[in-house]
Chains A and B, each alone.
Chain A
Amino acid sequence: MRMLLRVVGVLIVLSLIAGAYFAWSLSHAVALPAGPVTSVAAAKILLEPIADGPNAAQLRQGQYLARLGDCLSCHLRADGEPFAGGLGLNTPFGVIYTSNISSDPDHGIGKWTPDQFYRAMHDGIGGGGQHLYPAFPYPWFRNLSRQDDDALLAYLKTTTPVAYQPPDNKLVFPMNVRAAVAVWNLLPLPPQPGKQTPQGATAEWSRGEALVLGPGHCSQCHTPRNLFGADKQGEAFQGGLLDNFVSPDLTGNERTGLGRWTVDDITEYLHTGRNARAAAGGPMGDVVTYSTSLMTDEDRHAIAVYLKSLSASTDVDVTAADPASMKRGAAVFSDACTACHLENAVGQPTLFPPLGDNAVAQQNDPTGVLHIILAGVRVGPSPTRPSPLTMPSFAWKLTDQQVADVSTYIRNSWGNRASPVTAADVAKLRSTLQLDEVRLTDNSGDH
């Protein structure tokens, strides 16, 4: 009994410290990610034909799981080799560098046994018995079967070995103590598929649920996190914040979610990264490049069917925008935005998203819109749409007040309705993204 009390006490203290540091680290948040140059070229490895042989079926299953699980979005750094890791993930607790999961025996998973791999995928325990940080989506991957895990490991063991050691993590105390993850693991885990199947659910719905809650680990980004970085209960798929991007609401909310999207809209978006309503940029661009564009049509359709079944999130009250700000925003929009998004923001379907009835524009948290305007964004390339269309950065051109005004205007025009943005909001994100000074390209000529 005394032992139990002591353990509980330690847990409470650890949790409090974690909470305090979470608040602290939010105010010292992260710069722009040094992400990889998303490219169809790197994703090609996931489509390489696997020769017939005794375990070809298992290897093909493993390769397909590597697509479903979006492994390369994280286990590939800029100028690195596929599966060699080393990408720095900006979390509220510091930077976590992804591990090398190539077949290298010393730096990768070359010596791992199926039991070890299963423990990692299911329990978040690494090859050396250490706790893995839940940036690795084991809370979702635990929903894969043992047979899936064995197939994925078998496939990873066929990848080119890369003798590369990713850098050490840079995390704040107490999260730099791996044992602290044991505390985290006591928090409620994401839901498991097959537990809440509604009456009349089709086999396709169930397949979609299994993909979304399992390898797809969609809610890792699309569900809001609480103070401890765990899913907020009861708010599944209502949108979250990652790397200063908003992962939009995926529920049936017509303003912020997928309420206006059809199953075909979602399927096309997952396939090509674009549709008549939106384009996949930021972290979702990577997901399209390394995962959803490489799935089967059936699986994309199943995901869409499942997502369309999510009931709408509760809408929030929206403060009315200041007419003077709207007028200034309209002026900025007319000069700076209409070249691609056109007057009245009708856009060019599948090229430049229309901004009216646009869910990304209307997220309750304006961070995503501000990020896109300040830093620019690139659409994830895919085999069917290999050209990575880019929206340029406007940080050099627009003041904080101008970004706030044009964002407020976009969020409250053409049928949109969302809270106004202040210059202080923009200044904060500009500073977080380290865009106070103009960042020139190598091409900028004489300065």
Chain B
Amino acid sequence: MDKPVPGRRHFLISTAVVAGTGLAGAIGATVRDGELGAPPRTYKGGVPWTEGQADSPPGVSGQDFKFFTPAERAFIEAAVSRLIPNDEVGPGAIEANVPFFLDRQLAGPFGRGDHYYLGGPWPKGTPEQGYQSRFSPAQLYRAAIAAIDKYTHANFNGADFAKLSDDDRDKLLKSMESGSLQLEDGVDAKTFFAMLLQNTKEGYFSDPIYGGNKDMAAWKMIGFPGAHYDYREWVTRHGEPVPFPPVSFKGRPGWNGES
């Protein structure tokens, strides 16, 4: 069978993209190693190391919301409290501070889609091809929340999504998950739901330095020791409970004499 020959136009587009990426790397003085556009580096003579430097994770500080408007925050709280409700198994997404986690993620590089290729073309991809939206995650959240509230205004007597009953919210979330809910303004409900569910789980289980998983409650629920580096001494100790209390990148209460 003949191999398909890439068209001339396709070739021109590809090279233009490559040239553009290289240019972004050259002019982006703040681009760090490992980030999109960072130039390759060569080391000679010895392994580079500088005293006092650390690959510290970019945690969050403060408590204020930076991305969501009050109305958007109400939507998010109403949605994530249905995705992971507070019950006898463990704390809910609200108790674990997931809305704050989402806010800070959307206000930062993830929200901007810094690690995504967001240029065209935008054909509808297969599920295996992952995220195919022209929206950055922050744009998607903003547009989807507005489109869903627009839908509930039209179908639930002018009420915001956040004002709906638990049952109504569950039904709407399920119709988003299945893709049956049709939204306006170019928002694909299924794409948004997939991202919201994924990010809610991330906020629930990720290290507390990113704002969610408050008090490591999700880790306590499942018995996960957290950012414990190494278990070599436990590899051969079968059937024994691992006694380590959960620990975050920035420690645990025991480090400060608290329990």
Contacts and interface: CB of A to CB of B under 8 A. Distances in A.
The answer to whether A and B assemble together is yes
Interface of A: 32-33, 35, 37-42, 324, 327-328, 331-332, 334-335, 338-340, 342-343, 374-378, 381, 387-388, 390, 392-398, 401-402, 405, 433-435, 438-447
Contacts, number: 123
A335 B32 CA distance: 29
A41 B52 contact: no
Contact of A335 (B46, B51, B58, B255): B255
A327 B34 CA distance: 39
B28 interface: no
A122 to B, nearest CB: 34
A236 B64 CA distance: 59
Nearest to A396: B56
Given A328-B256, A338-B229, A338-B230, 6 more contacts: A39-B45, A42-B45, A388-B46, A397-B250, A397-B251, A405-B255
Contacts of A343: 233
Interface in B70-116: 108-109, 114
Contacts of A433: 52
Interface of B: 32-35, 44-56, 58, 108-109, 114, 227-230, 232-233, 244, 247, 249-252, 254-257
A37 B53 CA distance: 14
Given A328-B256, A402-B255, A439 B53 contact: yes
Contact of B54 (A338, A340, A396): A396
A379 B255 CA distance: 28
Given A37-B45, A39-B45, A343-B233, A331 B254 contact: yes
B176 to A, nearest CB: 29
B54 A392 contact: yes
Contact of A339 (B54, B55, B229, B254): B229
Contact of A388 (B34, B44, B47, B250): B47
Closest 7 CB pairs of A and B: A39-B46, A339-B229, A331-B254, A339-B230, A396-B56, A446-B109, A375-B52
A375 B34 contact: no
A217 B219 CA distance: 55
17 contacts: A37-B46, A38-B46, A41-B46, A327-B257, A331-B252, A335-B252, A374-B52, A388-B46, A388-B47, A393-B51, A393-B52, A397-B250, A402-B251, A435-B52, A445-B32, A445-B35, A446-B114
A37 B43 CA distance: 11
A322 to B, nearest CB: 11
Contacts of A390: 49
B53 A440 contact: yes
A374 B45 CA distance: 26
Contact of B255 (A331, A340, A374, A447): A331
A332 B35 CA distance: 32
Nearest to A41: B45
Contacts of A38: 46
Contacts of B257: 324, 327-328
B252 A388 contact: no
B33 A388 contact: no
Contacts of B32: 442-445
**Residue in A332, A434, A446 whose Cβ sees the most chain B Cβ within 10 Å:** A446
A339 B230 CA distance: 5
B220 to A, nearest CB: 15
B61 to A, nearest CB: 12
Nearest to A33: B51
Contacts of B108: 446
B58 A37 contact: no
A439 B56 CA distance: 9
Given A32-B52, A39-B46, A332-B251, A445 B229 contact: no
Contacts of B48: 37
B248 to A, nearest CB: 9
B54 A393 contact: yes
A393 B54 CA distance: 6
A339 B35 CA distance: 28
A387 B47 CA distance: 8
Contacts of A395: 52, 54
Contact of A376 (B34, B52, B230): B52
A335 B230 CA distance: 9
Nearest to A348: B232
Nearest to B232: A342
A439 B52 contact: yes
A254 B53 CA distance: 34
A395 B53 CA distance: 9
Nearest to A335: B247
A328 B47 CA distance: 35
B47 A441 contact: no
A346 to B, nearest CB: 10
A23 B113 CA distance: 54
B230 to A, nearest CB: 4
Given A37-B48, A397-B56, A439-B53, A446 B255 contact: no
Contacts of B56: 396-397, 438, 440, 444
**Residue in B34, B49, B247 whose Cβ sees the most chain A Cβ within 10 Å:** B49
B52 A443 contact: no
Contacts of B229: 338-339
**Residue in B35, B50, B108 whose Cβ sees the most chain A Cβ within 10 Å:** B50
Contacts of B256: 328, 401-402
A419 to B, nearest CB: 21
B138 to A, nearest CB: 14
B55 A440 contact: yes
A29 to B, nearest CB: 15
A328 B45 contact: no
A405 B256 CA distance: 9
A338 B225 CA distance: 14
Contacts of A398: 251
Contacts of B249: 397
B87 to A, nearest CB: 30
B46 A443 contact: no
A335 B251 contact: yes
A444 B52 contact: no
B44 to A, nearest CB: 8
